[in-house]
Every structure is written in C-alpha cells, then in structure tokens.
Structure 1
Amino acid sequence: MARARTTLSPRTAVLLSGSLILGLAGPALAQFTNWTSPAVGMQVAQASSTVQDIQRELNRLGYNAGPVDGSMGPRTRAAIQAYQRDHDLRVDGQPNSSLLSHVRDTARSGRSEPIRSGPEPSSRQIADTQDALRTLGYDVGRPSSRLTDETRAAIRSYESDHGLLASGQPSAELLEHMRRNIQTTPEAPTAVDANTIAGIQGELRLRGYQIPRVTGQMDTQSRQAIRDYQQGQGVAVTGEPSAALLADLRAVRTEPAPAAGLTREQRAAAQRALSARGYEAGPPDGVLGPRSRDAIRTFQADNDITPSGELTSRTMALLGLGRTDAVAEPPAIKTKPYRVRARDDFSDGDHTRNPAWRIASGRFEVRGGGLNSTMVPPSERTEAMGRQILGNLLQQQLGFTLPGQETAAAAYLPTRLGPEFRITALVSGSAEAHSHIDLGPYRGNRLNQGYRLNYRTSQSRPLQLIVVNESGISVIASARLPLDGGAPHRLVWTRDAEGRMTVTHKDAILIDVVDRTENETFDGFSLINAGGDWTLHEVILEDRG
C-alpha cells in the first residue's frame, strides 16, 4: 500500500497548526488540504467550511444570513453585502478568509454595528419600529426600546423583502414605509387551524420552498417560505398563514397553461436554468411571478432580446431548452439507455479485483457487508496534538508525512463515466460529531475534482452537492438526511444532458438542481473518508455513452 504524502502551502499549514493549537477541527479551517500519493499521482481536496463559519458569525451579529449550512444562497450573500457596507469594505458579497477574520474581530469587540457619525435613533423611534415590524409579522424578540440584534435582523429582513438597501438601522423613512404597508395590508385572522397551515406547508413544499416537514404548526421556516412566496407574487409580505393564501396556492397550481403553450414543467425548467446562470428566478415551481419575470427580463436584456418577461422561443433556446412553440406537453425525447460502467457489491470479499479498487491513502477492507474504512475525526485526536503539529511543520518544510499521520482515507475506481450519469450508492456510517464522507465522479489527478456528494454530520443540512475545479469549491445544493442508526441508505444520483441533477433517497427527491459547470467525461469514482466509520455496501456506475 502506498503511503500518503501531504503537500501543503505555507498558508494552509499555518491554518492547520493554528487549528490544532486552538483545539479545533483541522478540516473546519483548512480551505484546501491535499493528500498526494506518489505511486498513483492522485490528490484529494477537502471542501471549505468558511461560508458556514461566516453564516454563524453574521447571525450572531444580527445580519440574518440564514441557516448555518455552508451554502451560498441569496440571504447569505445579502447579509455579507450588508456587513461590508456597514464596515466600509468592498461590497462584493463574496465569502473568504479575510472577511471571516474581520467578522470574528467585530464579534470579539462586542459591537455588532460600526460607530456611526449620524444621530442615534431615539428609544421612541426604536419602539415604534419594533411595533411596526411585529404587526407585519417579523420577529423582533421580546418587547423593548433597545436596538437589539433581533431588531436589526428583522429590519434587514423587511428591507430585503421590499427591495430596500439592507442597513439594519431604524429611521423615519423606514418607519413611514412600514406604516404605509400596514395600512394596505389586510388584518390577519386571529387564528388559523392546523389543517389550513398543513395545506399551505404542503403546497409550498411542492414548489421547492425550504419546509422540512408538514406539521400543521407555524415555525420559522414556514413563515420565511410564506414571505418568499408573497414577495415572488408581488403581494404584501406578511409571512402569515390564511385560508385565502391556501386558496391562492391551490388556484395557482391548477392554473391552465399560458397562451404560449408552455407546461408547468417547462416553466420550472426555465426557472432552474435561469438560477443556474446567476439570474435569481426563485423556486422552480413553474409559476412566473414578478421575481421570475424580472430574471427573464434581465437575461433577455443581457442577450440582446426585447425584455418582455415572457419565455419566448428564442429565450428558451438560449437557455438550452429548445423550441417549445404551442405544444401542450414537451415532445418525447429519445434517450440512450443507461449502460453499466462498473458495479461492485463486495460479495466476493475482495476489493482488489472484479473490479479492482485502488487505495490512495488510509486503510480499506471488506467487512460488515461492504468496503469499510475508519478515520478518527481530527477534533478527537487530542492525545496526538503535539505529533500533528510536528507533522504539519514537516509537511510544510520538507514535504513528507509522519507514519500514521493520514487525515483521510481515499479509495478510487478508475473507469470512464460520461457527463450523463446515474450513480447508485448504498452507504452506512457513523453519526458522531465531525463524521465526514465524500463520494462521486472525479476528473484528472484529483480524487474529488468534479461533482461530489459531501456528507458532514456537523452541519444542519449535512448532505451537500458540490463542484470542485480549478476555480475552487462551490456548493450547488444541500439537503437534510440523517445517516444514523447504522442501517444502509441507498442514494441515487442522476445527471441528464441539460445538466439537471437529482439525488433521491427512498424515492424522495432530496436535491433537484441544474448545473452545467462540468460537461466532460469523468475518469472514475472515488470514496473519501475524512472522519468516522463508513461502509460502501454497493455502488453502480452508469452513463449514457
């Protein structure tokens, strides 16, 4: 077995050494940690959790960056931009280590807002602002006349919902704006029954809004989903459930196809394609509300098309969706059948043949009904802290690894796999903190360069679909999935010719997204264990060659 050699840049080595000195998990700080095997020339890169750390710190400062899931969504980007404006930084909305350091310094200083030269809002103005926010359905915490982090976060949510500059600060202009909305907003019913709430949750969930479960009880996710829907429809943003809202959702779902002949599925595909290109079209629900039409107009203007806001034939063609003139249903597309490139259920007890797996680092063996590896999460290696510090210094200065110093176990199966693929993986693993596994097709000499499924138990949405290339690491989508209990979980991951990827578990779609970043043939499939006890019971690799 070839022994892994770690090659680290000085910056990465310093980060790793600092993480160990502080007693924190190394992978949580390292942006790119590469394990190189001289025998096979393969490298393994590990995804960054910088975005997750920035989200956590911004939320503590009241900037409402959304769930701490490491995914760069519109709410996280808006929170970053608001923070950058408040602190006279370059406003680009981009997460990086410099921004994280600045945010942490701000948090340690005990100030969530910079010192401003303008007049401070009075307690009366703050109280009036809190009352207005509460009336409009925003959570400002306990009643007070102080400018709390909850109040700042609620102000930013309101400003974002209404297209205002996100400042998080009370003002006379903002209060007047809210009062005008209160006057035009109908009174919410005093009580909404559980069946109505459950119906609303179900309808919104069908449209792709982030509602984990249909419970019949209002919670933060449901209220935010209602706000997002209302904003997309161009109506008053209240975040409140009602019978009228449920009727509206059901009416929209059963609306007839527009005159242009597009089906709901075709409009949803256009929304996915727009969002994949950076035009925020909202959830792919097939409903062309103001948000979707704004995205269409912007895309059309960028491509020298009259910005009508309609999905014309030329617009659909430029989105890669072909012509859809006056058809009730999309024409049947003849697709090549899947062909099996590789398959292994390890029933022969041997991973070195039929097919032949290769080991880049760590130890793998067939036991427990599959290919198993165990790696102690870095945060649990406190007894070897001094040895790790020494190892990091040797890696930085001399470029070699101490025996037993591997920080990830990596196995790979070289096989040609086209960009239209279906990967079926039966996986079981540990649910301990910091457990981490990464699998998927790789390209070139890095075992995780390409599309990857990344599972980290420490995250609120542990399953992430990411893309890794020369430009870095990007999170495409994330989902909740408990891989606990020790039972195997079957994941089916597909990608079609249009770049649409789905990940299903027990016939439920966890991820549905379009991404065309990687459209070339892959060189194989890899499994990387960066912490925990994981077993791959079966894998089937198929493509449409």
Structure 2
Amino acid sequence: MLGRLIGVVIRNPLGVLAAAAVVGSWGAISVNAMWLQTGPHPAPFLGRDTIAGVPAKLPPARPDRQVAKIDPASAEDADRARLVAKQMELTRDLQIELARRNFYTGGIDGQYGPRTEAAIRDYERMASLADTGQPSEALLAHVRMSTLQAPPQPVPSPVRPAPGNETAIAPATPVQNGDPVAALLEQADEPAESPSVAPQQSASAPVPVPPSDTDRRIEAVQAILADLGYAPGSIDGRMSSSTKRAIEDFEVDRGMPMTGQISPKLLQELTAVSGVPLG
C-alpha cells in the first residue's frame, strides 16, 4: 500500500500537494475555532442563547477626556495685560523715534504722558497730519520713514531760584558800597516820573490780568496743570510758589521763555495741549 501511495505521488505530485494544502487549512481553521478564540463568535452555529453564559472579553474603557475650565475674569485680565504691554512697547518705540528727531525730550519709559502727547502733536502738525496726540502703529511707521527734524529743544536756564528761596536780591546801591555822594548824583540823574504817561510794556512781558478775573483764571490754570501732571499745589486761585514752578516747568517743556507768569502765550499753549479754552 505504501508503494501504491508513493506511485500516486510520483504520477500526480501537484494534485497531492493541493490535497495536502486543503487538509492542512481545514485543520488550522478547526483548531482556531475550537480552542484559540478568546470570545464568542459573532455568528455562532449553535445560536446566541447557547453561549449566553460565556463571558466575553471587552476592550478596556478609555478614560473620559477632561476639558480645562478657564475663568472668564482671568482670561479678560490676561488679555488686558497683553494689550497694555503692547501699547507700552508701541509708546516706547515712538518715544525713541521722536527723540531722534528732537520732538521728544522726556524719559524713554513707554509711559504715555503730557510730554509724549505734546511731542506727538508737534510732529503731527509739522507733518500735516491729523492732530490726535495719540500713539499708533501708522504714526510710528510714518515717523520712521520721515526725514522731519525739529529744532533743538532749549536747555532750561541754570539761573533758577531754589524751592523756598524765591525772593529776589536787590542790586547793591552806591549807599551800600559806602558812597553817599554817588548816590545823590544818581538820584539827580534819574528822570522824574510823569503821572500822566504810563510806561510802555515790552512785547515779551506778561500782560496783567484784570483783578476781577485773577483768582478764577489762576484756578483754571492750576486745574489744567494738575491734570497734566505738573503739581501746581492747591487749586485755590492764588499764585503760590508751587504754581509758579509748575508754570515754569510747562514753559520749559513747551520751548517757551521761562517766566512763571500767566500770559496770553501761556493760556494759548494750555488751551492747545488740554483742549480747554482759556479766554
């Protein structure tokens, strides 16, 4: 019989191999279906009622995805902080560019104040732009591309009375120098004052304000200087040393002659900077 089987294989080798492959495949399928499956078959021959008691292995459950909760107030504060930082950076870049062109003489700190506003307005007027006094990206780009140059800012005079010592010192007379004869000669040479002819005021001297409006106008000037950050002291309508010093600081910042007095030029500059009319 073995010899007959060997003869069949020799005569028809392909058929024998095909039959062996079929038998091997059926055997592997049977072993897998009966012993190697870990769960019930989706379409069993015996029905689902028969295998209802067989426990099935299900995939492990995935943990629920948790979404981080964001406090609306915190998000608003963060957005506001980013906007403030961006605005300060823009103001600082604008201060640098304006300082290079002699429009700005304050500190490069990114803080928007009266000096920065005045520098922006001066540049906008010289460049024939809209007078806004506000920093912006468009203005920064315009300044960087512009070739405008402002005249150098005047340096404040070093001859300035110290706080609390503003009393003017009278010039020495010949009497103080011990020469009474020269004093008498000087008095004789002085022309007598005519009561009917008033002395002519110089063009640069401050125009006196009527007494009825003095307190009210000084109070308005003090209020505007306080809003601009010049610390004029109490807003009481009195020309105190603090008010005079605040006027001098404003005049120096605006490139005006330092007088410390209320003059039409001062009122005009305060009106231009603050927008409050001072008639």
Q: TM-score range by the shorter chain?
A: 0.3 to 0.5
Higher relative contact order at CA 8 Å, sep ≥6: structure 1 or structure 2?
Answer: 1
Q: TM-score, normalised by structure 2?
A: 0.35
Q: TM-score, normalised by structure 1?
A: 0.19
**Which of the pair is proportionally richer in helix?**
2
